[in-house]
Amino acid sequence: MPFHSRANFDSTMKIVLAYSGGLDTSVILSWIKEKYNAEIIAYCANVGQEEELKGLEAKAKRTGASKCYIADLQEEFARDFIFPMIQAGAVYESQYFLGTSIARPLIAKGMIEVARKEKADALAHGATGKGNDQVRFELTAAALAPDLEVIAPWRDSSFRNEFPGRAEMIAYCEEKKIPVQASAKKPYSSDRNLLHISFEAGILEDPWMDAFAPKNKDMFKLSVDPEDAPSKPEYVTLDFQRGNCVAVNGKALNPLGVMRALNKLGGRHGVGRVDMVENRYVGMKSRGVYETPGGAILHFAHRQMETLTMDREVMHLRDSLIPRYGELVYYGYWFAPERLALQALVTESQKHVTGTVRVKLYKGNIMVAGRKSPVSLYNPAIATMEADPTKAYNQDDATGFIRLNGLRLKVAAKVHPKRN
């Protein structure tokens, strides 16, 4: 979406800003209010970041906002975003559980709902022009509210020239009497929600630096160092119905409850840590470190449930789409028609994924310790290496099966003989 100059707007313009109360968004709130002579409505989504939200409304208003919405989206996040993604087995580049990626379309959706309620003219965010989040916010806006403009100050050269660093931002806040607590910049940036916490930039920009070294233990928030985890393994059962976890250790829970329970269990045993160099959508490589304790358990257990209950060809078809689904989430196409179409296939694939999985957690590891289902497709009488009491499988039939499947290989070998 285009970035418009102030001349495009009149003094009655309303802008909904994604607001956290930190230094960046506090500066942005004041800056866009001045630049566009606009009414600013601050919006903060609680997606499980566990940050202090108390006093945020008063702070936003002291900074210049006319209103501040604080929306608790945790239940919706777990139910309508995390769980459908888990059903799809989604993972980006075989490692990343998409914790930040999946939260952004929900936050943008919430902003749009407020914009409609307030009859706002535009949305604004503080995502950098080098990252993925700007794309995720704005593709959601394109899909759900194509009439709304999107303002991205970090893509405005005048903003970057005015604020080349934190020192200039702090000085601006002092001048404008903006209530922010200026502190030394952390040696990395982090983002937390119900599914994970991510760390990037700063000292992590060196891919040779060992993020899991003992000296960096204080960086991690959701999980203990696997070396410090209990020396005794812990067994956990997860009950599934139609591909969704509905109980942990026999206790019925809603999706939000499942995530909270698994985060606690996984964090205690140091599971779900990932250090990777990933390919950002904007073209560059980036090093990210992630903690996803509950999500890692859920992803693993869900797969184990599928192995017992899902048809082979359905599984292989769905699995072939995992990289594509993961890209769609990572790139910001959650509300795009192709993701919705894939989700319909995923939902159909999950209708028999029902049963119980038992996992063992031990010093950073998740191991399967059992699976059972009332609709299991595993038949030990057929799979046994002993005599098949059901006579459902005649081993003699394999001769013709192999002969037919090898026919094309024999024909090709005669036409194109391989030379040793």
Q: Which helix (DSSP H) or strand (DSSP E) does residue 1 occupy? A: none
Residue from 26, 133, 136, 198 carrying the catalytic annotation: 133
* Among the listed residues 88, 92, 83, 80, the one whose alpha carbon sits nearest the alpha carbon of residue 346: 88
Q: Among all chains, which residue has been given the structure tokens 């910049």? A: 185
Is 104 an active-site residue? yes
Is 388 an active-site residue? no
Is 396 an active-site residue? no
Residue from 10, 160, 189, 206 carrying the catalytic annotation: 189
Instruction: Answer for the pair 238, 245: CB distance below 8 angstroms, yes or no.
Output: yes
Instruction: Answer for the pair 267, 222: CB distance below 8 angstroms, yes or no.
Output: yes
Query: 115-121 long-range contacts, Cβ below 8 Å, gap at least 24?
Result: 115/14, 115/16, 115/145, 115/148, 116/145, 118/14, 118/16, 118/41, 118/67, 119/14, 120/14, 120/15, 120/16, 120/41, 120/148, 121/9, 121/13, 121/14, 121/15, 121/38, 121/148, 121/149
The per-residue DSSP string of 379-406 comes to -HHHH-SS--TT----TTHHHHHHHHHH
Residue from 26, 104, 239, 286 carrying the catalytic annotation: 104
CB atoms within 10 A of CB 182: 13
Question: Where would I find the beta strands (DSSP E) of 262-335?
Answer: 273-279, 285-291
∠ CA 72-75-77, nearest 5°, is 90
Beta partners for 275? 289
Structure tokens at 331: 């790139």
Catalytic residues: 24, 104, 133, 189
